[in-house]
Amino acid sequence: MRYFIELQYDGAAYYGWQRQPETATVQGTIEAKLSMLRGVATEIVGAGRTDTGVNASFYTAHFDTDSAVDTAQLTYKLNKVLPPDIAILRIYEVEPTKHARFDAREREYTYYLTPHKSPFRRHSAWHYNVELDIDRMNAAAARLLVHDDFTSFAKLNSNNKTNICHITHAAWVVESDGTLRFTIRADRFLRNMVRAIVGTLVDVGRGRYTVEEFDNIILKRDLSLSSAGAPACGLFLSNVKY
């Protein structure tokens, strides 16, 4: 039997999602508590990796078991024993063949950038108080939908079989409190890709690059041409669609 878990986490205290020996990760933390509650070693498979410090407002994973699970009770118990920076939203049974990672059709990331320093947003937004041209940033973001090779935003030595991604949405909006919110959706993302894109788009907004130069960065397929990645604290995996 296979069960899906929907969850959220604040990634500030973790070295990303993926389990690592003697290192605090979200996957490792949940597996330890799940195994303790079930009395048997239980591995979980996530929808994808998130890097050190990256958050998730919506994340999915699955685990397998030979016996039926009281999902409401397990959800309650997991939330009682997990640290406050990880929350289980729900657990539900799925078809045995449904896979949290391989069956995902689309993933969405959201990035938050705020011009206002706030001690309460230090784990959830990038404090950046330089004036930015949002129209230019959106014009540049629209160019992402035209291309599919994002080598210029791919972390080196990631062992990707391909750097091809199909982006279906990429846009900035300004919220009522002045926070800038960037949303991007694609069938897949490369390691560090969203943070590299955000960092480069911010440089478009402050006038370092034109929209045409941003387009050329993508076409050149050269990581050295893109800007430094935006801080992890502002990035959230915000949706996974199946």
Reduced to 3 DSSP states, what percent helix, strand and coil does the chain have, rounded to the nearest 5? 30, 25, 45
User: What is the C-alpha separation between 62 and 69, in angstroms, rounded?
Assistant: 13
Residues in Cβ contact with 15 at an 8 Å cutoff, skipping those fewer than 6 apart: 23, 24, 25, 52
DSSP state letter for 228 = P
Please identify which of the residues 10, 51, 203, 215 carries the catalytic annotation: 51
Contact present, 122 and 233 (Cβ < 8 Å): yes
- List the alpha helices (DSSP H) in 82-210: 134-142, 193-205
> Is residue 177 annotated as a catalytic residue, yes or no?
no
User: What is the C-alpha separation between 234 and 122, in angstroms, rounded?
Assistant: 8
DSSP state letter for 53 = T
User: What is the C-alpha separation between 123 and 91, in angstroms, rounded?
Assistant: 26
Terminal CA-to-CA distance of the chain, rounded, Å?
19
Q: Which residues are catalytic?
A: 51
